[in-house]
Chain A
Amino acid sequence: MMVETPTTAKGSHADAVATASVVALAFSINGRHCAVETVATAMLLDVIRDQLGLTGTKKGCDLGACGACTVLADGRRVKSCLALAASYDGADITTIEGIGTPDRLHPLQAAFIRHDALQCGYCTPGQILSGIALLAEKPKDIAAIREGMSGNLCRCGAYPNIVAAIAEVAGL
């Protein structure tokens, strides 16, 4: 009898990895051109973390439900754990490493620090990328920020401060 693995969600994906064909992809990552070869079934998150070494993007649930892996693709929020890398061939990808540096913080990064909008920090890169995309959508009030950020979980519960940081940058 076979082991009935209690989880089934990733079984077929894992099986596929072993036999998948290799594809050549080219992205712009944080403004730099970048060519990678990867298995056709590879997720954007794994390419970003494992092949490009950009570990600021986190794996939280691997199901597109927690938001820790959020990156921007052509300015729009994408949960990279569920995004097939091959679908983003030619895309302009922005990760947390492309947002700002300790010496030159993006206004939202500075606001996150000012408002103590983080605790363990694991969800923070995803929160910031999601927040930046939300700001571009011009939220009209606090309720729109709360709704617009509800796809990024923070288990430490820093939500009031996350909302305050985004609201400040939005001028609300």
Chain B
Amino acid sequence: MIKMQKQGPNRARISGGVAEALHHDSAVKHVTGGALYVDDIATPPGTLEVYIAMSARAHARVIRLNVDAVRAAPGVICVLTAADIPGGNDISPTPTEDDPLLADGLVQYVGQALFAVVAVTVQQARAAAKLARVDYEELPAIITVNQALAARSYLEAPYVMQRGDVEAAIAAAPRRLSGRMEIGGQEHFYLEGQAALAVPGEDDDMGIYCSSQHPSEIQHTVAHVLGVARHAVTVEVRRMGGGFGGKESQGNLPAAVAALAARIARRPVKCVYDRDDDFLLTGKRHDFRVDYNVGFDDHGMILGLDVMHAVRCGMSFDLSQPIADRAMLHADNCYYLPAARITSYRLKTHTQSNTAFRGFGGPQGMVAMERIIDEVAATLALDPLEVRRRNFYAHRDRPDEARAVTPFHMRVEDCIIDDIVAELSETAEYQRRRADIRAWNSSSAIIKRGIALTPVRFGISFTKTFLNQAGALIHIYSDGSIHLNHGGTEMGQGLNTKIAQVVAEAFQVDYARVKITATTTGKVPNTSATAASSGADLNGMAARNAAETIKGRLASFVAEREGVSANDVQFWPGCVAVGGRVFTFDEVIKDAHMARVSLSATGFYATPKVQWDREAARGRPFYYFAYGAAVSEVAIDTLTGENRILRTDILHDVGRSLNPAIDKGQIEGGFVQGAGWLTMEELVWDEKGRLLTHAPSTYKIPACSDRPGILNLALYDRGVNSEDTIYRSKAVGEPPLMLGISVFAALADAVASVADYQLLPQLDVPATPERILMAVMRIQTG
């Protein structure tokens, strides 16, 4: 026992608590090559590898599949077809049952898994797969958005959100305009491809080590495919080499194939996608066509908006329904729309089944709204920033009932976008630079500059309300060391670091005392995906609840022993204070163990307040909103369309940051990824449905030299979450991606300078050099 002065502990602060800018918990392992990804795990002797053979047709019946020669090839152990699946031949992430593990008589995209070859090495498996004989009977294939719209090829009935009389509002508006925007998809290009290792155990047991944002779903899928109870399957994820949404549902296929192979071969089996195969097999960000008709007044106030989203979903649902829904839920971005209707068509095409990608439909909805604002401003010859500000939702502190309701009838109660935009436009000198750029452009014949400030408002919560839950498990061992586990997964976003900070803060112990362990379905069951930016919000709360349970037991134990009330027990940095006495944390843990106090607890959290009536398209799908804004300045070469981002200034709201270093990394990275989607990342399919851009040689993601020459980034220092989130922080994973829209809008501004800002050129996403050049030529030729 340590006697201490009554007034307080001997140090003010633990090391590594909440709000400290700690480095990523794996940083040392990352820089020394010691961090293990799935393909780095030392495999048991006899581990086999599996290669997934793919369909060469976009839409066809498989008349005959003869794999005799494959089976006879060197190194081949077995060949798996649909007939070999003991359980269900379905890996859909939602109960739609439209994603077969292995095609059974029908293929619906070029790249669909047709059969799998298990061999000693994947090179042998790949070589053997080429010996299969496949006879196809080709069927008509629908590849593009426009083909699917024309054929009314819908996955489900069109879905509508509406508030007010849209026709009447637009008809009565003093001004109207209409337009169309095509928005391309985006390949995730996580640097670590999809990977899974399946290790069979006794009875029906199957252990899976994989790179997935959703271990519980991998568990459910593997159990379903093998025809065993979920308790037989244990899934472990230590880390991913990037996820970005691409490992929310797309990890099901490699894990299920590896597990099926392991069950049949009775040996461990690894499935690691080659980069080109990853491009061909997996879904991407949804490409959209957005048609719009907007009514507004002479001041740029929007009076009515009618928007149509045509969403290319691919061959199956996957997560398309909630993604297309979220696009609609962000079709307003930061702007109050007195009357609005959003109609969404979920198109079935014979292409990869598009899936979650950071923003989950939100970016597509939002970029179209920003485009509409820019067109309204151009029509009225107003500064687009002025039009933006006039249309913002009512400010949190200046409630205006008339300007606070979204098209889905949710009241926006936490809007601070005015403050962020005011501060950013000031610090980035938006007005001065805009004037300077216009003057500069008038004397620059070839190179033109553009500038734009765009805001972001992003809804936080899964729109499927039941997913807003999380669990955690904490053990304190008798030496005082803490073992932390939670349902979230680490994909580089620093989730584990943040949750360990939360636990350290709760116990008032140093961060170094908390050991972060791999996510496993054996410790925390029935988890939701680490997605929707929810990782820290949900798992942080669950972990804190687990810690509070143990603290409650410790307090009761110490209070009873010392003859005081449990309310008089306080957790100070590294110690526990009761009355005038202070005990070290280690001492309390040791004594509690000897006194038979449980030192292990689970924690659970379910987000309050959210409810969503999808049928009626009404409710509160989001607990709160995250806000941010960016100003980008670009330069284009009007002879070639080549372009550069000269400078970007960002001000982003993360509430009270759990970890400013990690939050800034998320914001920078999100911006870069968003700008990549909008300017350079272009997916091209041919008329046969073959993806032509399936490697970094043909699909370009931002490189070091593409980032802005100057990047000024600040966290909004007055940020605090209005809702009672974990230490009043805000989610940060997805919202910053949409800061990239400022680059797209700035490019359009630069092109508009060619015709002296008399009109805003048509510009689709991505604004590649080719598209920019074509836009320039269109206005030059009138």
Q: Decide if A and B are genuine partners.
A: yes
Chain A residues engaging chain B, CB cutoff 8 angstroms: 1-7, 9-11, 14-15, 17-18, 53-63, 65-66, 68, 95-97, 99-102, 105, 109-110, 112-114, 116, 118-125, 128, 145-147, 149-163
B130 on the A face (CB < 8 A): yes
Nearest residue, chain B, Cβ from A59? B39
**Alpha-carbon distance between A153 and B36 when the two chains are bound, in angstroms:** 20
Contact present for A3 and B56 (CB under 8 Å) = yes
**Candidates A110, A112, A146, A157; contact of B705 at CB < 8 Å:** A146
* Sampled A-B contacts (9; CB under 8 Å): A5-B56, A6-B694, A56-B32, A109-B32, A116-B665, A122-B190, A153-B696, A157-B670, A158-B668
The smallest C-beta distance from B318 to any residue of chain A, in angstroms, reads 20
**Candidates B75, B240, B697, B707; contact of A63 at CB < 8 Å:** B697
Nearest residue, chain A, Cβ from B676? A157
Nearest residue, chain B, Cβ from A9? B276
The number of chain B residues touching the other chain, given as a range, is: 35 or more
CB neighbours (8 Å) of B126 from chain A are: 10-11, 14
Chain B residues engaging chain A, CB cutoff 8 angstroms: 23-24, 26-37, 39-40, 42, 53-54, 56, 74-75, 110-111, 114, 121, 123-124, 126-127, 129-136, 188-192, 239-244, 274-277, 280, 491-494, 661-662, 664-666, 668-673, 690-691, 694-697, 701-707, 711, 713
Contact present for A11 and B130 (CB under 8 Å) = yes
Contact present for B192 and A100 (CB under 8 Å) = no
Counting chain B CB atoms within 10 Å of each CB, the highest count among A60, A68, A147 belongs to A60
**Alpha-carbon distance between A58 and B193 when the two chains are bound, in angstroms:** 11
CB neighbours (8 Å) of A159 from chain B are: 668, 672, 702-704, 707
Contact present for A99 and B694 (CB under 8 Å) = no
Known: A119-B494, A121-B30, A123-B191. 13 other contacts (CB 8 A): A1-B136, A10-B276, A18-B75, A56-B32, A60-B192, A65-B697, A116-B24, A120-B242, A121-B492, A153-B191, A154-B191, A155-B673, A160-B713
Contacts between chains A and B (CB distance < 8 A), count? 234
**Candidates B129, B241, B701, B702; contact of A5 at CB < 8 Å:** B129
CB neighbours (8 Å) of B54 from chain A are: 5-6
Contact present for B239 and A120 (CB under 8 Å) = yes
Contact present for B191 and A60 (CB under 8 Å) = yes
Nearest residue, chain A, Cβ from B696? A65
CB neighbours (8 Å) of B33 from chain A are: 54-57, 95-97, 125
**Candidates A18, A63, A145; contact of B123 at CB < 8 Å:** A18
**Alpha-carbon distance between A147 and B705 when the two chains are bound, in angstroms:** 6
Contact present for B696 and A121 (CB under 8 Å) = no
Contact present for B694 and A7 (CB under 8 Å) = yes
The smallest C-beta distance from A93 to any residue of chain B, in angstroms, reads 14
**Alpha-carbon distance between A159 and B645 when the two chains are bound, in angstroms:** 14
Contact present for B705 and A113 (CB under 8 Å) = no
Contact present for A113 and B668 (CB under 8 Å) = no
CB neighbours (8 Å) of B133 from chain A are: 1-3
CB neighbours (8 Å) of A57 from chain B are: 33
**Candidates A1, A109, A128, A149; contact of B134 at CB < 8 Å:** A1
**Alpha-carbon distance between A150 and B56 when the two chains are bound, in angstroms:** 34
Contact present for B276 and A66 (CB under 8 Å) = no
**Candidates A58, A68, A105, A156; contact of B492 at CB < 8 Å:** A156
**Alpha-carbon distance between A121 and B134 when the two chains are bound, in angstroms:** 41
Contact present for B241 and A120 (CB under 8 Å) = yes
Nearest residue, chain A, Cβ from B662? A116
Contact present for A6 and B111 (CB under 8 Å) = yes
Asked if A160 meets B668 with Cβ closer than 8 Å, knowing A113-B31, A124-B31, the reply is yes
Contact present for A112 and B32 (CB under 8 Å) = no
**Alpha-carbon distance between A57 and B274 when the two chains are bound, in angstroms:** 16
**Alpha-carbon distance between A160 and B697 when the two chains are bound, in angstroms:** 24
CB neighbours (8 Å) of A105 from chain B are: 28, 31-32
